[in-house]
Amino acid sequence: MVTLNDYLMVSGLLFTIGFAGVLLRRNIIIIFMALELMLNAANLSLVGFSRFNVQNGLPDYNAQVLVFFIITVAAAEVSVGLAVIVALYRARQTTHVEDITSLKF
Amino acid sequence: MTPVLFWTFSGIMLLFATLVVVNRNPVASALSLVVSFLGLAALFVSLDAFFIGVIQILVYAGAVMVLFLFIIMLLDLRAEGRRKVNVPAVFGGVVVITLFVKVLFDVCYGFQGGRAVFPPIEHSAHGDVWHIGMTLFQTYKLPLQVVGTLVLVASIGVVLLSKRELR
Amino acid sequence: MNAAPWLILFAPLTAAVVITLFTLRSRQLSSYVAVTGVFVSFLAALAVFAGPDHAAGFNWIDVGIFQVPFGYVIDDYSKMLLLVVTGIGLLIQLYSLGYMADDAGQSRYFAALSLFMFSMLGIVLANNFVMMFIFWELVGVSSYLLIGHWFERPSAADAANKAFLVNRIGDFGFMLGILMVWSASGTLVFGDLAQKWPGLNLSPAYALAAALLVFCGAVGKSAQFPLHVWLPDAMEGPTPVSALIHAATMVAAGVYMLARVFFLFEGRWAALGVVLWIGLATSLLAALMATQQDDIKRILAYSTLSQLGLMVSALGLGVPHAALFHLFTHAFFKALLFLGAGSVIHSLHHEQDIWHMGGLQRRMPLTFWTFAAATLALVGCPPFAGFWSKDAIVATAFGRQPLAGLVISLVNFLTAFYMTRLFVVAFWGSPRSSSAEHAHESPAVMTTPLVMLAVPSVLIGLPFIAPVFVPSSEPEAPAILAVLVSLLVLAAGVALGWRFYRGAAKDPVHIPLFANRFYIDAFYGRLVRYTQDALSTIAGFTDRWIIDGGIVKGLSGATFWSGFALRFLQIGNLQAYAFLFGIGVVLLLYIILFAS
């Protein structure tokens, strides 16, 4: 049978892949996608714990509400982040992180 | 859910997540990301979190991905040309990731409680949307308002950021 | 479930939506859509009026212990008001066809008017506080839209803002009151509350506060002192709007709401006393102000204020049915007065100063006669409608609180005086301007509603007609005295007005205090300005010396020096930071989980 550890392991691997993307890729949009992967890895483990912590025959809905909040905030974060990227691109004509080394310009 | 399905969806998810990172073409990366999220949504459903699975598809595979593709096309990004590999950076990255995987395995190995099978749940009269709604509107009223304000501020911020006059 | 009440409610909304979405381009079509909508409402209201009392609804909001239904209640009160709102609304929309014929914003106007009808009918039908509050706000919004219809005129835009802001103050209190009622009783449905409220074990202070806060809403919407300042300015809107919203229906919403929730006040004498004296103060002040105004619409506006004060004081005397009776008759003759004024204004090319009118009785006979009927009804001349409804209030007042009876009689005297002044100056004598000389009768589409409103203004108060519409009331003790006093003050007022203004070319009486509305508006202006000045001085001091000098300078110094020290760690490469971050996370995890 599938156990909680399996889910946690998959979640951790997904997180690692996302982290690798952040560390190794140079394109800021790809980095951003990798960040989304990491967020979702956290969601997966949260839902796993929620399903594991059964009380009165019901999963723990607090965790699912937290996931709901994470998804909401992540959506806001994506929109703001992409707007920043667009503004950055207008100013610098690039999406490579190596070309963006100063905060103020 | 049978182990077969679990491993199938996990495999799909991890494979396409890897493709996100590996692909040189941003559009291909974005599409891989969609597939990865669909796999993730299937895993949510396997955990009886139907509502989360559905909004995962709606928000991520729908809204967020459209936004990504839109920006990629707006900026007209092509596949990256090969750049000089920064050897110390790649080396450092690989080291950190290896360390991370080691910690991960240690943790999972050490977590005895996680080896148990999932306890059964009863299927109550209400769907899980009802339960989440009750939790949300009773226990988490204030956080809900705060998140709403956050989204509002974010949308205003996006409008401001996207204005032409930004220097 | 009976569909007629829903039809009443949603026909005007449909009209508003259709106009906004489809027919904005065509002014003709928009006006017809709006008139059709309100006509359907009117027919449905007739059906409801003939039908039995009932209530229905469905569950709308259901979160744990907080439940709000969406439903209607049909009883004597709402039946009567449904007829008033849809009937007068229909006539006024017809009138608007003529009055607004060459206005570019006609479609917008009719859309807003339909939205208003929808919201007002919502208030009338609502069976709970939340629903009423929502429609209450909607009414405020549509009133804002309509007052500001000619928004290119700064005075109209300002008046719209003023009306909205002043109403906000009242609505804030109303909302607090609703919350207090809910937290004490756990329900917001009127029917349940009426049964539950008297039995609740509340401290008198709490009950008083809840009742007065709810009354706050009525003070704002029905323009009672001290929130009355918005109503005269609201006359900047088109005249049919003034007739419908700021005379007949919307301002009556406060009185209707109080009658609907009268159980909050029943037997609580402190609350009733406040209501009574606020109503009396409004009534008296407004009547005094009306005697010195020169703008025909403003005179009528102050008269409306005064009559609203009378209705509120009737509530304060504990006789809601008398208040509603007066509301009912007042709606007809005041709408007629405004429409008559509109007819005059229309034919004089938007001249509103009564001292530029005169000699209109031969040039506009139909307007003249209907205006005369409405004036007689307003001053309370028997057997016109106003006499009966005012008499009910005066008699009660003399029976229960003689002092209040005296004040009301004084108000009636003033009413007779200023209406005589208005009437004599505007319609009799010789024309005082060239536009008055060339005045001519308005088109039939405008005069027909006048005639149709004149009929009820004359007849509706008669003792064998009124009970059909107005909730039954036990008659007070025979009030020969009250009738005599009423007739006496009426005769005195008319005689005095006639004496002063017959043939006058300029105003012979000059009282700056009344003309300047007791300086209340100026006082509010000052109050806001000085409060703002004081607050900004304090805020400025805090900002300059405490926040800037202490916190910001101190923090910025600390930040600057630590930043200077840390600057050497800045590389500028995003991924280098991510690398450092990852190392840190791994180390932390390792230490926390395995090192202990």
Render pLDDT for C374-408 as a digit per residue (tens, 0 to 9). Answer: 998 888 887 788 888 888 888 888 888 888 888 99
Asked if A64 lies within 8 A of B49 by C-beta distance, the reply is: yes
pLDDT score recorded for residue C292 = 85
CA distance A77 to chain C (A): 18
> Is some CB atom of chain A closer than 8 A to the CB atom of B114?
yes
Rounded Cα distance between B38 and A60, Å, is 23
CB within 8 Å of chain B, chain A residues 28-47: 29-30, 32-34, 36-37, 40, 43-44, 47
Indicate the residue of C571, C572, C579 with minimum beta-carbon distance to A23: C579
Lowest mean pLDDT among C40-44, C58-62, C474-478: C474-478
Is B76 in the A-facing interface, judged by CB distances under 8 Å?
no
**How far, in Å, CA of A17 to CA of A22, rounded?**
9
A41 vs C545: which has the higher pLDDT? A41
- Chain A residues in contact with B30 (beta carbon < 8 A): 33
pLDDT higher at C87 or C573: C87
The four Cα atoms C444, C450, C453, C454 give a dihedral, to 10 degrees, of -120
The model's pLDDT over B76-132, given as tens digits with 9 standing for 90+, comes to 877 666 667 778 778 888 888 998 898 888 888 888 877 888 888 887 778 888 989
Mean pLDDT of C282-289: 91
Of the candidates A87, A33, A79, C138, the residue with the CA atom closest to the CA atom of residue B152 = A79
Within chain B, how many helices (H) and strands (E) appear? Answer: 7, 0
Give yes or no for residue C147 having a pLDDT over 70: yes
> Is the CB of A100 less than 8 angstroms away from the CB of C579?
no
Helix (H) or strand (E) holding B40: helix B26-46
- CB nearest to C579's CB, from B92, B103, B110: B92
305-334 in C: which are within 8 Å (CB) of A? none
Whether B110 and chain C come into contact, CB under 8 Å, resolves to: yes
Residues 6 or more apart whose CB falls under 8 angstroms from that of C475 comprise none
Query: So what's the pLDDT on residue B20?
Result: 92
Query: HSE on the CB side for B113, CA within 13 Å?
Result: 5
Task: Determine the pLDDT at residue A104.
Answer: 65
- For residue A16, is pLDDT > 60? yes
Q: Are C37 and C12 in contact (CB under 8 A)?
A: yes
Question: Is residue B106 within 8 angstroms of chain C, CB to CB?
Answer: yes
Phi, psi of B163 (to 5 degrees): -70, 150
Q: How many CB atoms lie within 10 A of CB C176?
A: 16
pLDDT given at position C474: 54
* Structure confidence at residue C401 (pLDDT): 84
Q: How far apart are CA B27 and CA C84, in angstroms?
A: 64
Neighbours of chain A (3+ CB pairs under 8 A): B, C
> Cα C333 vs. chain centroid, distance in angstroms?
17
How do beta strands C66-74 and C54-63 pair?
Answer: antiparallel
Dist. CA B20–CA A18, nearest whole Å:
9
**B143 in contact with chain C, both atoms CB, cutoff 8 A:** no
Whether residues A58 and B151 touch (CB distance < 8 A) is answered with no
Q: What is the DSSP letter of C72?
A: E
pLDDT given at position C381 = 82
Per DSSP, B123 falls in state -
Residue A97 contacts B where some CB pair is shorter than 8 Å: no
Give pLDDT, residue B1: 57
C581 close contact with A: CB closer than 8 A? no
Taking each helix axis from N to C end, the angle separating C106-125 and C250-260, rounded to the nearest 10 degrees, works out to 10
> Helix, strand, or coil here: C229?
coil
Task: Tell me how far apart the alpha carbons of residues C526 and C534 are, in angstroms, rounded to a whole number.
Answer: 12
CB contact under 8 A, A86 and B1: no
Asked whether the predicted pLDDT for residue C515 surpasses 80, the reply is: no
Q: Do B119 and A75 touch (CB under 8 A)?
A: no
Q: Per DSSP, what are the bridge partners of residue C54?
A: C74
The reply to whether B147 touches chain A by the CB within 8 Å rule is yes
- Residues A33, B132: C-beta atoms closer than 8 Å: no
Residue C500's pLDDT is: 82
Q: Please determine, for residue C295, whether its predicted confidence score (pLDDT) is greater than 90.
A: no
**CB within 8 Å: B100 and C579:** no
| C40/chain B closest Cα distance in angstroms | 40
Nearest by CB to residue A37, choosing from B17, B80, B117, is: B17
- Minimal Cα distance from B116: which residue of A? A3
Nearest CB among A47, A54, A75 relative to B64 is that of A75
To the nearest whole angstrom, how far is the Cα of A2 from the nearest Cα of chain B?
Answer: 6
- Regarding predicted confidence, which is higher, A92 or B137? B137
Asked if C582 is an interface residue toward chain A (Cβ–Cβ < 8 A), one would say yes
Looking at CA atoms only, how far is residue B102 from chain C in angstroms? 10
Asked if pLDDT for residue C475 goes beyond 60, the answer is no
- Chain C positions touching A101 (Cβ under 8 A) are 571-573
Work out the burial of residue C428: count CB atoms within 10 Å of its CB; fewer than 13 is exposed, 13-18 middle, 19 or more buried: middle
With an 8 Å Cβ cutoff, are B113 and A18 in contact?
no
Interface contact flag, A100 C575, Cβ < 8 Å: no
Tell me the two tokens of residue C575: 């991924």
Q: What is the model's pLDDT at position B82?
A: 67
Residue of B nearest to A46 (CA): B44
Q: Residue A105: what pLDDT?
A: 55
Q: Which residues of B touch A38 (CB under 8 A)?
A: none
Whether A90 and chain B come into contact, CB under 8 Å, resolves to yes
Mean pLDDT of C204-215: 89
Task: Tell me which chain A residues have a C-beta less than 8 angstroms from the C-beta of B64.
Answer: 36, 74-75, 78
Residues on A contacting C at a C-beta cutoff of 8 Å: 19, 22-23, 26, 28, 31, 97-98, 100-102
Which residue in the set A36, A47, A87 is minimally distant from B44, CB to CB?
Answer: A47
**pLDDT band per the 50, 70, 90 thresholds, residue A103:** low
Q: Looking at beta carbons, which residues of chain B come within 8 Å of A74?
A: 59, 64
Distance in angstroms between the alpha carbons of the first and the last residue of chain C? 71
Nearest to C578 among A23, A100, A101 (CB): A23
The predicted pLDDT at position B41 comes to 94
Q: How confident is the model at residue C541 (pLDDT cuts 50, 70, 90)?
A: confident
Cβ contacts of A79 on chain B, cutoff 8 Å: 67, 154-155, 158
- Across the interface, do C579 and B93 touch by the CB < 8 Å criterion? yes
Both structure tokens of C317? 């005397």
The 10 Å Cβ neighbour count of residue B57 is 18
pLDDT at C497 over 80: yes
pLDDT in tens, C110-131: 999 999 999 999 999 988 889 9
| CA C78/CA C541 separation, integer angstroms | 55
pLDDT averaged over every residue in chain C: 85
The yes-or-no verdict on residue B166 having pLDDT over 80 is no
Q: Give the integer Cα–Cα distance in Å for C125 and C256.
A: 11
Q: Quote the ipTM score.
A: 0.89
Which residues 82-111 of chain B have a CB within 8 Å of chain A? 83, 89-90, 92-93, 96-97, 100-101, 104, 107-108, 111
**What span, in angstroms and rounded, lies between the C-alpha atoms of C12 and C2?**
18
Q: Retrieve residue C547's tokens.
A: 């926040």
For the stretch B36-66, pLDDT in tens is 999 999 999 998 889 999 999 998 888 888 8
Average pLDDT over residues C53-75: 83
Are the beta carbons of C158 and C207 closer than 8 angstroms?
no
Triad C164, C166, C168: Cα angle to 5°: 70
What pLDDT digit, counting tens, does each position of C220-257 carry? 888 888 888 888 888 888 888 888 887 778 888 889 99
Most C-contacting residue of A8, A23, A88 (CB-CB within 10 A), to test interface: A23
> Which of chain A's residues have a Cβ under 8 Å away from the Cβ of B104?
9, 12-13, 16
User: Token match 């400025």: residue?
Assistant: C540
Secondary structure (DSSP) of C385-405: HHHHHHHHHHHHHHHH-HHHH
pLDDT given at position A57:
82
DSSP assignment, residue C383? T
Least confident of C199-213, C326-340, C455-469, C483-497: C455-469
Q: Is residue C465's pLDDT more than 60?
A: yes
For residue A104, give the chain C residue with the closest CA.
C572
Left, alpha or beta for C265 (phi > 0: left; psi -120 to 50: alpha)?
Answer: alpha
CB contact under 8 A, C575 and A22: yes
Q: Decide: residue C126, CB within 10 A, 0-12 exposed, 13-18 middle, 19+ buried.
A: buried
The answer, yes or no, to whether residue A40 has pLDDT greater than 90, is: yes
Chain B positions touching C589 (Cβ under 8 A) are 103, 107
Query: In the structure, how many helices (H) and strands (E) does chain C have?
Result: 26, 2
What does the pLDDT look like over C361-371, one tens digit per residue?
Answer: 788 888 888 98
* Nearest Cβ partner for A101 among C572, C579, C582: C572
Give A17 to chain C, closest Cα distance, Å. Answer: 13
pLDDT at C505 over 80: no
